[in-house]
Amino acid sequence: MIKKYIVFLLFSSVILSQSFIENLKEQTPIWTGSFGTVVIDGDIYNQISMRPEFNYRNWGMGFDLYLYIDADGKLYDETWNFDSWEDTYRTILDKFRYIRYGYPGDELYFRVGSLSNVSVGNGILVSNYSNAMEYPAEKKIGIQFSKYFPSGIGIDYVQSDFRKMPGLIGLTLNYPISPKFNLGISVVTDINQTGALDDSDDDNVPDFIDDFPDDSNYSRDTDGDGLADELDTDADGDGFDWFNYLENPSDTSVFNDDFELDPDGVITNQKQIVTFSDLEESISGIGLSFTYHINQNFKFYSEFAQLISKCEDCIHPSGEDWSPGYGLTPIGFKGHYGPFSFKMEYRNNNRHFIYSFWDRSYELNRAILNEVDNDNDGIPDIETKSQQLYKYGSLEGLYIDLGGSFLNLVNLGLSYQDLTGEMWSDNNQRWETDQKNRSFITSIGLNTAKIPRLKYFNGFYQRANVRNPLDFNNPDENTVYGYNVGIDISESMVLVYKARYSYKFDGIDSNGDSIFKQVYSMFVETQVLF
């Protein structure tokens, strides 16, 4: 307990040291406090928080100091854990909402913390990625960094998380071949997609196969008696108590009639411990882009990307081996004029490729735990996003992206993909032609200056790489949407409501169709501006 307070006091003294405060006197700090309700892992907690922000010249820093308390008055201590130096590091890191230097487009820019709308190149691999889709249940601390030199050479780096296994690591090199012609090379990877699975006690054993998900010391209970194998003298539950035998070797009652137990002390049917390393499945992508700048507002570009995945048993339902493919944008046109922006592309890809593999919903579907056991091995099936590539065939078509501010009242973004070609049919077990692969993504924000009591409103909807993204009655794992609403209660008080909706696989119905269960995340709080 003493160590906890010492660490916390040291942490606080660093943040609020005199020198730190002195350096921030040029701009008045913003102090926002809040209280409200939040849902974490299906449980409702009362929230109390303080979010101070400081800005000085090109620097910006925001903190997120909060407490979650359940109905019994118990503190949610996952975010205030000082039991080890690793836990202490994560706890301290968790209290930083962001640290920023500069702004996107500056010669030097970096941001540490929550990331939103991250794109790499022109978006063939990474487009509108966010690491904050699961906040506050899951808070990720990522980094976005860019540096441009006087020669025009630029380096961009992004990493989605430092606290746990990152879902996105990307590096891009931009090289000016001429004043108007630019070459870009990108490398993107997810080291292990199964890192998205929950591991509450950080013991490297996923919760779904961890018999003690809240105790990092134990993970296996072979006989299911509630006692960890390391503490159980009859760990496999076969009736032979090795401890009692050592104490009373003459007592043959510990054996059954055929002596087919474990008299040598070897547990023959012990439950296997499965770690994230055992489930490792990576996915990477290499991108190449050529850009011709007509002027500051308009440009032409071409882009190519190859997905790479290490899959031990990637056997297509057709019986053939398969591996991820490539995508090509032979010609694209991008520009902006006044408050409006646009992007148009012609796309062409071979089998087992999808555009913008790392998108807004990636952290939600990079690895999905199916609540069925098709292998009959006692372990629920894990489905990674790269495994879903098997069903996408050779496709071609158009992509369009439009955005702008209308009447200084509505900020609207809209993108649509319409590709035609092959798609694998699980029902018919064959490649079918003249099929559609479509995506629909939209976002909306209101300028609330002229709307009484409404502080802000924004929302989004995304459904990507499906036959009909406008089929709102039949959502699937590719569907995610949400909204944020802020309502003025008084001059210094705002009621905030945030909601996120996604879907996960939940079995097969009697017709052989997939069933998807809605996953709902809610965040309600009252913000107070000091």
For the segment 488-503, what is each residue's pLDDT rounded down to a tens digit?
988 788 888 888 898 8
For the segment 456-490, what is each residue's pLDDT rounded down to a tens digit?
899 999 999 999 999 998 898 889 999 999 999 88
**Res 375: pLDDT:** 58
Q: Is cis: bond before 136, omega within 30 of 0?
A: yes
Average pLDDT on 413-428 reads 94
Q: Which of 365, 387, 363, 361 is nearest to 374 (CA)?
A: 387
**Res 508: pLDDT:** 75
**Res 13: pLDDT:** 36
For the segment 131-149, what is each residue's pLDDT rounded down to a tens digit?
988 876 778 899 999 999 9
Q: In this structure, which CATH number among 3.40.50, 2.40.128, 2.40.160, 3.30.2010 belongs to the domain 118-192+281-493+501-529? A: 2.40.160
pLDDT exceeds 50 at position 2: no
SS3 166: coil
Element (H, E) at 495: strand 493-508
pLDDT exceeds 90 at position 406: no
Measured from the Cβ of residue 385, the count of other Cβ atoms closer than 10 Å reads 26
**Res 517: pLDDT:** 84
Q: How far apart are CA 448 and CA 454, in angstroms?
A: 6
Long-range contact set of residues 466-473: C-beta below 8 Å, sequence gap at least 24 = 466/437, 466/438, 466/439, 467/423, 467/435, 467/436, 467/437, 467/438, 468/436, 468/438, 469/438, 469/439, 469/440, 470/440
For the segment 103-125, what is each residue's pLDDT rounded down to a tens digit?
888 999 999 998 988 999 899 99
**Res 378: pLDDT:** 58
pLDDT exceeds 60 at position 18: no
Q: Which of 326, 324, 328 is nearest to 309 (CA)?
A: 324
Give 374's pLDDT tier (boundaries 50, 70, 90). low
Least confident of 115-119, 315-319, 361-365, 431-435: 315-319
Average pLDDT on 42-51 reads 80
Share of the chain above pLDDT 70, in %: 83
**Res 264: pLDDT:** 53
Calculate the alpha carbon distances from 471 to 5, 277, 468 in Å: 54, 38, 6
Give 515's pLDDT tier (boundaries 50, 70, 90). confident
For the segment 336-346, what is each residue's pLDDT rounded down to a tens digit?
998 899 999 99
Give 242's pLDDT tier (boundaries 50, 70, 90). low
**Res 38: pLDDT:** 75
For the segment 265-296, what is each residue's pLDDT rounded down to a tens digit?
555 667 778 888 888 889 999 999 999 999 98
Q: Note the pTM of the prediction, 2 decimals.
A: 0.83
pLDDT exceeds 90 at position 9: no
SS3 201: coil
Give 11's pLDDT tier (boundaries 50, 70, 90). very low
Q: How far apart are CA 229 and CA 224, in angstroms?
A: 9
Contact 177, 362 (CB under 8 A): no
Give 417's pLDDT tier (boundaries 50, 70, 90). very high
pLDDT exceeds 90 at position 228: no
For the segment 165-200, what is each residue's pLDDT rounded down to a tens digit?
899 999 999 999 999 999 999 999 999 999 888 887
DSSP 195: G
DSSP string of 333-375, one letter each residue: EEEEETTEEEEEEEEEE-SS--SSSB-TTHHHHSEEE-S--TT
Contact 35, 47 (CB under 8 A): yes
Q: Cβ contacts of residue 473 below 8 Å, gap of 6+?
A: none
Q: Which of 74, 104, 168 is nearest to 385 (CA)?
A: 168
Q: How far apart are CA 499 and CA 330, in angstroms?
A: 39
pLDDT exceeds 50 at position 449: yes
**Res 421: pLDDT:** 97
**Nearest 5 degrees, angle CA 149-CA 151-CA 156?**
40
User: Average pLDDT over the chain, rounded to whole?
Assistant: 83
What six digits make up the tokens of 429?
Answer: 């077990």
Share of the chain above pLDDT 90, in %: 39
Q: How far apart are CA 368 and CA 429, in angstroms?
A: 23
Average pLDDT on 299-313 reads 88
DSSP 388: G
Give 5's pLDDT tier (boundaries 50, 70, 90). very low
Q: Cβ contacts of residue 411 below 8 Å, gap of 6+?
A: 403, 404, 405, 444, 445, 446, 447
SS3 399: strand
Calculate the alpha carbon distances from 498 to 38, 410, 478, 501 in Å: 10, 19, 20, 10
What are the sequence ranges of the domains in the chain? 2-101, 118-192+281-493+501-529
For the segment 248-266, what is each residue's pLDDT rounded down to a tens digit?
655 555 554 444 455 555 5
Q: Cβ contacts of residue 193 below 8 Å, gap of 6+?
A: 167, 281, 282, 283, 366, 367, 384, 385, 386
Q: Give the residue with greater pLDDT, 10 vs 513.
A: 513
Q: Give the residue with greater pLDDT, 435 vs 80.
A: 435
